[in-house]
Amino acid sequence: MDAQTRELFESSLLSLAKERAREGRLTNPRATGSAKNPFCGDEITVDLDVIDGLLSSLGYEAKACSLCVASAELLSQWAEQGGSVGQLAELAETVKSVLQGEAAPDGFEALASVAPFRARHKCVTLPFDAALKAVKDGET
């Protein structure tokens, strides 16, 4: 394993993935979305509760790699801080930019370590894809 790969897998992303502190489905979500990465088999379902355009809670269930789970944990943390539905779409675009080498917003700096691994970018964006699908399908 080269030093760059070792750094990725020894990063804070792995700590988040191991903890899975926020994993779990919501009892009565207002909206639910699922996404799958056909290349690696990662699957995630994201539940959202939205009140007046603000995310009040986010739950998820993942059958996925550590990078996908860590990204879902970061998204869950962000939602707990009262992100809005509109900001969710902006954040998803920002995360894609981080994976292209742009500066990461506060709380998402660890995602920058995935930028050199283009084949793993979809793993990181999958929770955002599921959350955005939930917003679209739930018309929240």
Which of 128-139 are b and which e, b meaning 16 or more Cβ less than 10 Å from the residue's Cβ? bbbbbbbbeebe
pLDDT in tens, 89-112: 999 999 999 999 999 999 898 898
Give the three-state DSSP class for 92.
Answer: helix
Q: Give dist(CA 82, CA 58) in Å, integer.
A: 10
pLDDT in tens, 20-78: 778 899 999 999 999 999 999 999 999 999 888 889 899 999 999 999 999 999 999 99
Q: Give dist(CA 10, CA 43) in Å, integer.
A: 23
Q: Give dist(CA 110, CA 123) in Å, integer.
A: 14
- CB-CB neighbours of 3 under 10 Å: 7
What is the model's pTM?
Answer: 0.89
Residue 140: per-residue pLDDT: 46
Choose the weakest-confidence range: 9-18, 38-47, 73-82, 130-139: 9-18
Residue 2: per-residue pLDDT: 62
Contact status, residue 60 vs residue 26, Cβ threshold 8 Å: no
